[in-house]
A = this chain, B = another copy of it.
């Protein structure tokens, strides 16, 4: 159920409607738009009596939302969601493309800073690095944990890049929310509903990676889990799905980008590193991601991929990252986008 407020509705009227909804034992989700505010209602398994709501002051109309996802739907919020980061002009979902780079795992201070230096120089506004790693084998490297989080906080201090890193469970979630800027929920946890709920109660943006065999609706329902708890800052991330096709590690499903844009207001970024598993394919697919309308790309970069503790074969070199920035910059205007202001792509990369 969705309450659409009149354009001239006052903050007090909005608050009164929310209070009324709460009184009904339901949960109001006020979503301000450019023209007017809409208030999503969740918590009802059956039907809510719309009569009462429609007669409240400032209410324009009450609409039934028929899709399984409500708060993630464009029916509820028509304008694209833009995630902003206090103290910076970095955004995800706006006119500027969000470019995220960094190593699969934070391995040590030297590695992390060496890569961060190169990425900052090439214009990345987001730095990613694994602190808690979901590894298929219990015997594989599991990440440096808190130590990695602290190193990345230092990187933010020094270079100004915002930090994105994965949380695996309650413990790591609390630490990630404390030290990083965006909480990543990995593909293998896309339907870990308990973790999604906890992330929904935090105030940091949440980037959700698509599960290896998730349909678009399931993907949006994962976002809905986070949003239903009151955290509307959700970023979707396509990272390849699992099919019979064996020329790449996964099958990067780029056509989900226009499909998502039709039904949801949430931003979508593409991870061509996991999506292909091959260094040589990362740049072509990053270009394709921007060309088909994605809001950003997230790539693995390593200064010495041949000795990386994880995902070496799919990590690109810093100079490839710089080249990618240059290529993306040229494609962006075709889709009405641009790289963030003040980006200085290294002259040598051109």
Which residues of A line the B interface, CB within 8 A? 42-45, 68, 70, 134-141, 168-170, 172, 188-189, 191-195, 197, 211-213, 215-216, 218, 221, 224-225, 228, 241-248, 251-260, 262, 272, 275-276, 278, 280-281, 284-285, 287-293, 327, 330-331, 333-335
Q: Which residues from chain B contact A212 at a C-beta distance below 8 Å?
A: 211-213
A289 vs B253: C-alpha distance when bound (angstroms): 13
Q: Across the interface, do A285 and B254 meet the contact criterion of CB distance under 8 Å?
A: yes
Q: Which residues of chain B come closer than 8 Å to A292, judged between CB atoms?
A: 284-285, 287-288, 291
Q: How far is the CB of A291 from chain B (nearest CB, A)?
A: 4
Looking at the assembled complex, report how far the CB atom of A200 sits from the nearest CB atom of chain B, in whole angstroms.
9
- Residues of the B chain whose Cβ atoms lie less than 8 Å from the Cβ of A193: 134-135, 138, 168, 188
B residues less than 8 Å from A194 (CB atoms): 168-169, 172
In the assembled complex, how far is the CB of residue A9 from the closest CB belonging to chain B, in whole angstroms? 26
What residues of B have a CB within 8 angstroms of the CB of A188 in the complex? 191-193
A335→B287 contact, CB < 8 A: yes
Q: Which residues of B contact A289 (CB under 8 A)?
A: 288
A258 near B284 (CB under 8 angstroms)? yes
CA distance A329 to B85 in the complex (A): 35
A-B contact pairs, 7 of them (CB 8 A): A139-B228, A215-B246, A216-B246, A255-B284, A255-B285, A290-B291, A327-B334
Asked if A243 and B246 make an inter-chain contact with CB atoms under 8 angstroms apart, the answer reads no
B-side contacts of A141, CB under 8 Å:
45
A259 CB contacts on chain B under 8 angstroms: 247-248, 278, 281
Which B residues touch A213, using CB under 8 A? 212-213, 241-242, 244
Cross-chain contact of A224 among B138, B189, B255, B333 (Cβ < 8 A) = B138
Question: In whole Å, how far is A283's beta carbon from the nearest beta carbon of chain B?
Answer: 8
